[in-house]
Amino acid sequence: MFDVGGQRSERKKWIHCFEGVTAIIFCVAMSAYDLVLAEDEEMNRMHESMKLFDSICNNKWFTETSIILFLNKKDLFQEKIAHSPLTICFPEYTGPNTYEEAQGYIQTKFEDLNKKKDTKEIYTHFTCATDTKNVQFVFDAVTDVIIKNNLKDCGLF
């Protein structure tokens, strides 16, 4: 497992090194929807995450790779959405600023970036890294996806 996040300048250095990986776990801080990047104060953090997700999800190196999307910091997002509208990030959003509606909208925005929906599945999980029960459940689900893909590769599933 590798953490390949970080600033933009670091990201371009690694993508080709991971051809043939079984799964990619992509983490997004849902609570950052109303923040900008430290290195580019014009770029919204959620938009930057979507841009990176798009480039990984639809990259030629990862055509056979499962993508597991962690929409993280759901606890902070739930607190924040009540007083900081989602339209800060998505001006076209017309739904209510409730946790359920806003999280569903963000999930759809990410999943809609997948250009190969018929052959590539995105496994989305809403997470809170400080909630050990939630993290254990999510990692069990991720393990199931990886095992299933390995069995499929061996012709056993």
Annotated binding site for GTP, which residues? 3-7, 72-75, 129
Dist CA 63 CA 75 (whole Å): 33
Dist CA 66 CA 18 (whole Å): 13
Q: What's the length of the chain?
A: 157
Dist CA 123 CA 139 (whole Å): 12
Residues tagged in the binding site annotation = 3-7, 72-75, 129
Alpha-carbon distances of 13 from 7, 9, 18, 57, 143, rounded to whole Å? 11, 8, 11, 17, 28
The beta strands (E) that lie in the chain are given as 23-29, 66-72, 122-126
